Amino acid sequence: MLTPSRLVIARKWRGLTLTRLAKLTGLSTRSISLYENGHQEPSTETLRQLAEVLGVSPTFLSAPDVEEIPEAAVSFRALSKMTARQRDRALSAGRVALLINDWIDARFQLPTADIPSLTGQDPESAAEVVRARWGLGERPIANMLHLLEAHGVRVYSLTAEDNELDAYSLYWHRQPFIFLSTVKSGERGRFDAAHELGHLVLHGEYQTLNRPAAEVEANRFAAAFLMPRSAVLAQNLRYATSARILQAKRTWKVAAMALTHRLQELGLLTEWGCRSACVQLSRLGYRSSEPGGIPRESSQLFAKVLRSVRDDGETPATIAMSIGISSDELQDHLFGLTLTAVDGGGRTAPPTPRAPGLHLVPSADSGEHESE
């Protein structure tokens, strides 16, 4: 039996229009439309054919109903530049990540969400409130991704097809999610993650999106969260040269340009000083990339989940199969992980630096706790 909502998600996930799917399957547009509306049931053979063309298993198409992510629930920075098809694809890929999340949630008790709602607050003070609530003081954030995971945010990857997007975030049944690009420098990935945290904190569950003001607020939040005011002020950075900026950015693990703008925001650089530092940094290659930068952060939570799954004799392939997608696609959604590395085979597992309060409790288990 076909589940109509699943056919819609799979088609949009593949970036296909009804017409295109009809062409690829040799079915009529009208038939596909009837299947998607639930007005007609395809034969077993047609269901198999649809699954094959869509690159999912027939079980994916017949599993329980899925609710689409409404566009209004999401903060898309690049929304205005995206076509409807690109938006559909990004949201449907996100929906598939939520299915992976359901699979994990059914088996593990993960950290509960601890995101203060500070709608309407000034981003600078909101960042201070979150730091205080999470006990971070004025210290640099060692690992943004691990920090988010420890406070109950689930972080998934944007897939390669969504390269027009940097990141997006949403609340799904009260659970905060952030989707991040995996092709950015480590520094920019951290800033994007902090930017999306800003949306969750400042704009909450009902984000009135694509307001340019919301983007400015999220950026200001990110800068203040990663580079807290009083600690930066104490760093002796007044009139900093580009060489000094390159040295100081290592402390905060941010892009050189991001620190330069923060220094201007805090009155440590004049507008002219900021501009001339940017010109010099640009010449050194810091506009589009981050020479000699930090490695990209990866998920600690998924690494643990996959290790625990493997200990139970399952593999990523069995997870993928039970969701009805391929192992490669499962990997594409799990932030920064390569399944082979996690799966052993003599290779080193990804590093899992210490993060406060991340507990992973296999819920089916006898309450055995694993924590760092």
Cβ at position 203, least distance to Zn ion in Å = 9
Give the distance from CA 175 to its chain's centroid: 13
Strand order in the sheet with 108-109: 108-109, 359-362, 370-371
Question: With binding defined as CB under 5 A, does residue 194 bind Zn ion?
Answer: no
By CB under 5 A, which span of 26-34, 211-219, 228-236, 357-365 interacts with Zn ion?
211-219
Cβ at position 162, least distance to Zn ion in Å = 15
Backbone φ, ψ for residue 254 (5° rounding): -125, 165
Nearer to Zn ion, 157 or 300 (CB): 157
Nearer to Zn ion, 77 or 333 (CB): 77
Cβ at position 191, least distance to Zn ion in Å = 11
Cβ at position 218, least distance to Zn ion in Å = 5
Question: With binding defined as CB under 5 A, does residue 220 bind Zn ion?
Answer: no
By CB under 5 A, which span of 65-73, 207-215, 238-246, 312-320 interacts with Zn ion?
207-215
Determine the size of the site formed for Zn ion (CB under 5 A): 4
Q: In DSSP terms, which residues pair with 169 in a beta bridge?
A: 178
Distance CA 75, CA 73 (A): 7
Cβ at position 215, least distance to Zn ion in Å = 5
Site string for Zn ion, 234-273 (x = CB under 5 A): ----------------------------------------
> What's the half-sphere exposure (Cβ side, CA atoms, 13 Å) at 348?
3
Nearer to Zn ion, 159 or 169 (CB): 169
Cβ at position 177, least distance to Zn ion in Å = 14
3-state secondary structure of 158: coil
By CB under 5 A, which span of 50-58, 130-138, 216-224, 236-244 interacts with Zn ion?
216-224
Backbone φ, ψ for residue 341 (5° rounding): -65, -40
Question: With binding defined as CB under 5 A, does residue 218 bind Zn ion?
Answer: yes
Give one DSSP letter per residue of 17-63, joined into a string. -HHHHHHHHT--HHHHHHHHHTSS---HHHHHHHHHHHTS-HHHHHS
Crossing angle of helices 186-203 and 212-226, in 10° steps, is 120
Nearer to Zn ion, 98 or 218 (CB): 218
Cβ at position 220, least distance to Zn ion in Å = 11
By CB under 5 A, which span of 67-75, 84-92, 302-310, 350-358 interacts with Zn ion?
67-75
Distance CA 140, CA 353 (A): 15
Tell me which residue of 284, 237, 236 sits closest to 259, measured CA to CA. Answer: 237
User: Residue number with the shortest CB distance to Zn ion?
Assistant: 77
Give one DSSP letter per residue of 120-132, joined into a string. TS-HHHHHHHHHH
Nearer to Zn ion, 60 or 171 (CB): 171
Cβ at position 180, least distance to Zn ion in Å = 12
Nearer to Zn ion, 111 or 176 (CB): 176
Nearer to Zn ion, 77 or 89 (CB): 77
Sign, CA dihedral 340-344-350-354, equals positive
By CB under 5 A, which span of 31-39, 46-54, 55-63, 218-226 interacts with Zn ion?
218-226
Distance CA 256, CA 249 (A): 6
Scanning the structure block, which residue is given the tokens 């939040």? 221
Number of H helices, E strands in the chain: 18, 6
Question: With binding defined as CB under 5 A, does residue 77 bind Zn ion?
Answer: yes
CB neighbours (10 Å) of residue 204? 16
Per CB under 5 A, residues contacting Zn ion are 75, 77, 215, 218
